[in-house]
Amino acid sequence: MAAKDKDLNDLFLDTLKDIYFAEKQILKALPKMAKAAQSDKLRAAFEKHHRETEGQVDRLEQVFKIIGAPARGKTCDAIKGILEEGKEIMDEYRGCEALDAGLLAAAQAVEHYEISRYGTLKQWALQLGMKDAARLLDQTLQEEKKTDVALTSLAEAAVNLAAAA
């Protein structure tokens, strides 16, 4: 298909594949981040988000079903880079007071990426008349926003203070 023949439906599907790939990668990264976390509260936050992410993958699979496409990921270099940064923090700051602050920052970079993708996908779904898909995408968008707020609170109330001590 020539580039000029592609439309918003194609862009929607490509972006859906992108975030599906991203969520699968995040599912692999979260247990490693939880294991590396020094703070029990941060570990619990990563474990909670792992469970939420499983539900988010299920919702994405429902969206694929709605549009009649196989649930398949498309390599997302952006999330690979963000997760690689998180891995570098785990390696370089292991045993340091700043580790949890770095892990938290890496997790928020992931959240902000997801918020961007889900917000875009929701709007495109509405534009394309896919109300059920938009509802599912919005449900995940709201979860991602809540996770971001929870991570910010955790950073401000404890993790950043411990790192600065």
- For residue 96, give both structure tokens: 């340091």
Give the confidence band of 2 by pLDDT, cuts at 50, 70, 90: low
**Among 44-48, 118-122, 124-128, 155-159, whose mean pLDDT is lowest?**
155-159
Q: Would you say residue 165 has pLDDT above 80? A: no
Contact 159, 101 (CB under 8 A): yes
pLDDT given for residue 1 in this prediction: 54
Q: Would you say residue 3 has pLDDT above 70? A: no
The predicted-structure confidence for 75-95, as pLDDT tens digits, reads as follows 999 999 999 999 999 999 998
pLDDT given for residue 147 in this prediction: 94
pLDDT given for residue 70 in this prediction: 97
The predicted-structure confidence for 101-139, as pLDDT tens digits, reads as follows 999 999 999 999 999 999 999 999 999 999 999 999 999
Measured in residues, the chain has a length of 165
Reference 137, options 113, 161, 120; nearest CA is 120
The predicted-structure confidence for 7-43, as pLDDT tens digits, reads as follows 999 999 999 999 999 999 999 999 999 999 998 999 9
